[in-house]
Amino acid sequence: MKFKTSMHLKCALTLFSFSLIAGSSCAQEKDNRPGISVNTPKVAEDPKNYTVETIVEGFDDPWGMDFLPDGSILVSEKAGTLFLVKDGEKTEVKNAPEVSSRGQGGLLDIILHPDFENNNWVYFTAASSEGEEEGANTAVIRAKFNGTELSDHETIYKAGPNTRKGQHFGSRLAFDDQGYLYFSAGDRGDRDNNPQDISRDNGKIYRLHDDGSIPKDNPFVNEPDAKKAIYSYGHRNPQGMLFHPKYKEIWVNEHGPQGGDEINIVKKGGNFGWPLVSYGINYDDSMLTEDTSKEGMEQPIYYWVPSIAPSGFAIVPEETYPDWAGSVLVGSLKFQYLELLEMEGKKVVSRTKLLDGLGRLRNVKIGPDNHIYAAIGGKGIVKIIPNK
């Protein structure tokens, strides 16, 4: 089995070159902002050195998924239905959380409790109308799963206030190795007020105990008006999150405006700048900000220009894909492929398309069999099997 292409070394060297050959297959993408240096190497074509196995079809927008101990999969449809996928068939799970399906909101991410085999807790993020105001906002809900239905629903966090806007709910979930639960909530389309204000929800990464209580060492617990669950702020719309097994860090990818999608390493109390700094511009091509950095604000470890609309996030395991080991996988909603980012430490050195043209890549997970699984809008769940 051989996965790497000869292009990778060339691309890695290109990143450190001050001049690029026009039309080169490794040429960086052009930025439409004067004076901005772009760190995005051009994505290499799909090597097709693998086989795609369809696990199940018939999903419109399979947003979240996680694997049960027996290898079956819980999959959420954004419209509000939860399915169990087993032996190539999908069965609706009864008593899914009630959601407000509006715009980008609905039934979103899913993650099992680290001790699921003993407690049966499953966690969801969702657009919830709970609250006095009209509209909805991001909530974290947990429930117990008995194999066919959910019970014992608890809303352990509800962002507020509700708004009738349909954009930027986030939202992804991750547990770290200490049992803390992290989740993201996008800025809900109110970039001027929410992301930089720790007294307001949205545009944040949050950290909770598994029962929804606030860790005593969260960064803003002693700030009188702060939302105590906030762990970092200044985010736009994170739709990918993982706990990195090597670095023991929470990583997120998030949508920028036009250009400037980012990968960030979450830091306790960190301000990630949105909307005061950005590598993107407004959708009408006007300047959002001239600043790509400010003192006291964190920089991404990587950004895309143009935007790929990232969603889903995973680290490739060595056991099944030795030549991809440690690379990062990110789904592209905009360009409809799975992006493989080859890493040197925490630096991206090349990009490669996988699953090109199959549809909008909403999510990517590593299964208990150490294979890559991807959720594709309008299609379903597929598995990548390396050619030997």
Question: Would the CA dihedral through 58, 61, 66, 68 be positive or negative?
Answer: negative
Q: How far apart are CA 256 and CA 234, in angstroms?
A: 12
Q: Which is more confident, 153 or 27?
A: 153
Query: Percent of the chain at pLDDT above 70?
Result: 90
According to the model, what pLDDT value does residue 38 have?
A: 53
Query: Percent of the chain at pLDDT above 90?
Result: 87
Count the neighbouring beta carbons within 10 Å of the beta carbon of residue 30: 11
231 pLDDT above the threshold of 70? yes
According to the model, what pLDDT value does residue 41 have?
A: 81
According to the model, what pLDDT value does residue 178 have?
A: 97
3 pLDDT above the threshold of 80? no
Can 371 be counted among the known catalytic residues? no
Q: What ranges do the domains of the chain cover? A: 1-60+307-388
Interval 305-324: pLDDT, tens: 999 999 999 999 999 999 99
For residue 281, report the phi and psi dihedrals to the nearest 5 degrees.
Answer: -125, 175
141 pLDDT above the threshold of 80? yes
Query: Mean per-residue pLDDT for 269-284?
Result: 95
| Structure token digits, residue 268 | 């306790």
Query: Mean per-residue pLDDT for 241-259?
Result: 96
According to the model, what pLDDT value does residue 299 have?
A: 96
User: What's the mean per-residue pLDDT of the chain?
Assistant: 90
b/e map 62-77, b = 16+ CB within 10 Å:
bbbbbbbeeeebbbbb
Interval 50-104: pLDDT, tens: 999 999 999 999 999 999 999 999 999 999 999 999 999 999 999 999 999 989 9
CA 228 from chain centre, in angstroms, equals 23
CA atoms within 13 A on the CB side of 26: 18
According to the model, what pLDDT value does residue 39 have?
A: 63
Q: How far apart are CA 150 and CA 82, in angstroms?
A: 10
Q: Which member of 8, 113, 168, 255 is catalytic?
A: 168
pTM for the model:
0.91
Interval 335-365: pLDDT, tens: 999 999 999 999 999 999 999 999 999 999 9
Interval 156-205: pLDDT, tens: 999 999 999 999 999 999 999 999 999 999 999 999 999 999 999 999 99
Question: Would the CA dihedral through 204, 189, 133, 126 be positive or negative?
Answer: negative
